[in-house]
Amino acid sequence: MMKADDMLLFVHVVEEASFSRVSEKLQITMSVVSKRITRLEKALNVQLLYRTTRKLSLTEAGQALYKKAKIAQLAIQDAKDVVTGFGSDVRGNIRITMPIVTANLVLNRAAVEFCEQYPGIELELNVTNRLPNILDEGFDLAIRTADLSDSSLVARRLIDSQWCICATPEYLHTHGTPQHPDDLSSHACLLYKYAGKKPDPWKFQEENTDLICHVKGRFQADSLDSIKQAVMDDFGIAYLPRALIYNELKSGKLVTCLDEFANKKLGIYAVYPNTRLTDKKLTLLIEHFRNALQQNKVYFT
């Protein structure tokens, strides 16, 4: 018979990727960890982990079990939080993933402030432009600007991020300032290409009608910072979030154009599994992040 405690131990092993780290964290011997994982595999009659002297990796069955076991772990924690009056003593660990720009601009500082406000909280930040699967990788919270397709996730909009067409004054002096989105066909456009996909067309609006421009350019990157650097080097025109280039716009190193047509606006969301709806510490953190972003709204609008 499968034991629930063994399944929860399996979650720890997956997230720590090490029997020894789990042994230290839970204060049990490595042999006990190994025996309980073996017992779980025998109870399920499948191999869950590939074990070598250097690393642990999941089998296909292990990946499937981890996803469901993580949900169970979160549900158990939620039940514990409610019963023990969690709201009066905020403590615990929160694993967060967030994009680089938003982290560097506001949320890194906000995360530190939250830890200072609640000494019982431990935060683990994963700052990346990759979009990890929250459930598969064991995150409690993600900050995202992407469209959401997973119905098992809850999303709360924190703020809107305005994007703009920008270039250096030197580039526009040499190549001319576009007066209409159609003029971009004669310009070097710097293209954001994510995860091997084709660059998205640039979207505009004219008299409440959507305009889709399939712009072209010799420079493509999967990093907005790389595109920003190319713009700063007078290499072309880019469509970038204002938050990323706020200081350059303020100093005049970059200028915007086509403002009357550029209407790209993406929501920045707090995304989390629906099993975490009653988690007081997560609710407090999301509200703290929302307040921090709203207080720095000048960067995003």
How large a percentage of the chain has pLDDT more than 90?
60
Rounded CA-CA distance 206/260 in Å is: 8
Q: What integer pLDDT is reported at residue 277 of this predicted model?
A: 63
Same domain as 222, residue 192: yes
Among 38, 54, 82, residue at a domain's last position: 82
Other C-beta atoms lying within 10 Å of the C-beta of residue 23: 19
CATH of the domain at 28: 1.10.10.10
Q: How many domains does the chain have?
A: 3
Element of type H or E holding 173: helix 169-175
Same domain as 65, residue 22: yes
Residue with tokens 């023990």: 84
Rounded CA-CA distance 6/21 in Å is: 16
Amino acid at 90: V
Same domain as 254, residue 166: yes
This prediction's pTM: 0.67
Please write the tens of the pLDDT for every residue from 53-70: 778 889 999 999 999 898
Q: What is the DSSP letter of 202?
A: E
Q: What integer pLDDT is reported at residue 56 of this predicted model?
A: 87
Q: What integer pLDDT is reported at residue 86 of this predicted model?
A: 46
Higher pLDDT, 275 or 166: 166
Per-residue pLDDT band for 78 (boundaries 50, 70, 90) equals low
- Report whether pLDDT(294) > 50: yes
Across 153-182, average pLDDT: 94
Q: What integer pLDDT is reported at residue 237 of this predicted model?
A: 97
Amino acid at 61: A
Rounded CA-CA distance 232/234 in Å is: 5
Q: Residue 205 forms beta bridges with which residues? A: 210
Per-residue pLDDT band for 132 (boundaries 50, 70, 90) equals confident
Please write the tens of the pLDDT for every residue from 182-212: 999 999 999 998 766 788 899 999 988 999 9
Q: Tally helices (H) and strands (E) across the chain.
A: 11, 13
Q: What integer pLDDT is reported at residue 186 of this predicted model?
A: 94
Q: Are strands 189-192 and 255-257 parallel, antiparallel or unpaired?
A: unpaired
What radius of gyration do the chain's Cα atoms show?
Answer: 24
Please write the tens of the pLDDT for every residue from 211-266: 999 999 999 998 889 999 999 999 999 999 999 999 999 999 999 999 999 988 88
Tokens of 45: 């009659």
Among 65, 82, 99, residue at a domain's last position: 82
Across 120-149, average pLDDT: 84
Amino acid at 113: E
Which residues span the domain enclosing 176?
162-264
- Alpha helix locations (H) across 28-140? 30-44, 60-83, 100-102, 108-117, 134-137
Same domain as 272, residue 156: yes
CATH of the domain at 208: 3.40.190.10
